[in-house]
Chains A and B, each alone.
Chain A
């Protein structure tokens, strides 16, 4: 079983927010945590979607 690029992209975004925790000033660290959590949520959801065979994204939507 191999995960597609989209879930891994959001995993990467989540890791980036966590990696930025150290240089982020203390008063903004909760932003990193909330965003890392949101990205991790999308990673899990998109991974489940792909594993369950419903993945691949939609063809309609935001861009023309």
Chain B
């Protein structure tokens, strides 16, 4: 394996690490803000389930990233490196301005931009992009509807129950499970995106061959290293961010937190099994909006929701443009 390949794998795993670093707050903020777990306990809880997700989900999302976004026969090390560079730069830029963008969409946009800079629009696979684009809109809406349904079900089931303290204790315990489920979904869907990038890199360099069905197989060491990177990212980063997240965006009661996390987890499980890369941030945001809607529409912080819509619109084109220009020096050299 050449030094270039090793370096690009390191960049891809760094991308995964920072994904865990930032997104961990989504899965642990509610557990911390409702004082079910301390921040340190919560990040350890989330990191464990981020890691063990490899035992549950296959590698469908990784295969989508490796085979269905960009024509893998046209890729080179420079294209993959520029794609990762664009995705990371977009993530850092939007984190700085506070736009809740999706690392997943940045990665897809980044790979596409660098591939188009090398080989033109023919490098893109339309059907793969169509699937991802549709779910950019659908995954937050599915999370919203499921969260509203679960929360309303909780109201219906317990509205005559008078022992509020006992009920809250039950929901606090339930939150441990729902946070674990969300972390499983997060680890399953997001770690696989990095696996896809590493697999396609190894294919380009002749270290992996395509399977009979035209997809690139994902070796176990790639699976384990991607899950380790996202788990470590969660462990090191989550507790720093959760203090802000827990009070500013997701100040939920235990029942609401459990409903939002369960709805988002169901959405992520479905997407991961179906091989669709979705944004975990957008999914949990949609679910929180769904819980807020059970009270009244004005209970929802629409400012946050509208920023997510801007993130939908801007992420893929933004990362695309950065990667496109990042590849141009390589094109001039070749």
Chain A interfacial positions (CB closer than 8 Å to B) = 5-6, 9, 13, 16-17, 20, 23-25, 27-28, 31-32, 35, 38-39, 42, 56-64
Given contacts A20-B138, A25-B134, contact A59 B297 (CB under 8 A): no
Q: Across the interface, do B295 and A61 meet the contact criterion of CB distance under 8 Å?
A: yes
Contact check, A64 vs B252: say whether CB atoms are below 8 A apart: yes
> Quick check: B141 and A28 within 8 Å, CB to CB?
no
In the complex, residue of chain A having the shortest beta-carbon distance to the beta carbon of B291? A62
Measured in the bound complex, the distance between the Cα atoms of B311 and A13 in whole Å is 19
Query: Is B292's CB under 8 angstroms from A62's CB?
Result: yes
- How far is A60 from B133 in the complex, measured between Cα atoms in Å? 36
* B287-322 to A contact mask, C-beta < 8 Å, 1/0: 000011111110100000000000000000000000
Q: List chain A residues, Cβ under 8 A from B217.
A: none
A23 and B133 form a contact (CB under 8 A): yes
In the complex, the answer to whether B295 meets A23 with C-beta atoms within 8 Å is: no
Q: A16-B141, A58-B295, A59-B295 are in contact. Are A42 and B148 (CB under 8 A)?
A: yes
Q: Can you list 18 pairs linking A and B with CB atoms under 8 Å apart? A: A6-B296, A9-B293, A13-B144, A20-B134, A25-B127, A28-B276, A31-B270, A38-B149, A42-B149, A57-B296, A58-B155, A61-B253, A61-B256, A62-B255, A63-B252, A63-B253, A63-B292, A64-B252
Known: A56-B296, A61-B295. A31 touches B251 (CB 8 A): no
Residue B240 at the chain A interface, CB threshold 8 Å: no
Q: How far is the CA of A6 from the CA of B144 in the complex (A)?
A: 13
Indicate whether B46 reaches chain A with its CB closer than 8 angstroms: no
> What separation, in Å, do the CA atoms of A62 and B256 have in the docked complex?
4
| Interfacial residues of chain B within 125-154, with CB under 8 A of chain A in the complex | 127, 130-131, 133-134, 137-138, 141-142, 144-145, 148-149, 151
B119: CB under 8 A from chain A?
A: no
Q: Give residues of chain B (49-66) contacting chain A, Cβ–Cβ below 8 Å.
A: none
> Do the beta carbons of B151 and A64 come within 8 Å of each other?
no
Shortest 10 CB-CB contacts between residues of A and residues of B = A62-B256, A62-B291, A57-B296, A24-B134, A57-B295, A5-B297, A64-B251, A61-B295, A25-B131, A38-B145
Are the C-beta atoms of B134 and A62 separated by less than 8 Å?
A: no
Most buried by A among B133, B137, B145, B270: B145
Contact A61 B137, beta carbon cutoff 8 Å: no
Q: B interface vs A, CB < 8 Å?
A: 127, 130-131, 133-134, 137-138, 141-142, 144-145, 148-149, 151, 155, 251-253, 255-257, 259-260, 270, 274, 276, 291-297, 299
Query: Which chain B residues border A31 with CB–CB below 8 Å?
Result: 138, 142, 270
- Complex Cα distance A13/B171, Å? 29
Residues of A within 8 A of B138 (CB): 17, 20, 24, 31-32, 35
In the assembled complex, the CB of A30 is this many whole angstroms from the nearest CB of chain B, namely 11
Known interface pairs A24-B134, A25-B134. Does A62 touch B145 (Cβ–Cβ under 8 Å)?
no
| Contact residues in A for B142 (Cβ distance below 8 Å) | 31, 35
Residues of chain A contacted by B252 (CB below 8 angstroms): 62-64
Query: In the complex, A17→B145 CA distance in Å?
Result: 11
Contact indicator A23/B141 (Cβ below 8 Å) = no
Distance between A10 CB and nearest chain B CB, rounded to angstroms? 8
Q: Which of A9, A56, A59, A63 contacts B291 (CB 8 A)?
A: A63
- Cβ-closest chain A residue relative to B149: A38
Q: What residue of chain A has the Cβ atom nearest to residue B274's Cβ?
A: A28
* Complexed CA–CA distance, A59 and B252 (Å): 14
Q: Say yes or no: B145 contacts A39, CB within 8 Å.
A: yes
Asked if residues B130 and A23 are in contact (CB atoms below 8 Å), the reply is yes
The answer, among B131, B145, B251, B253, for a CB contact under 8 Å with A35, is B145
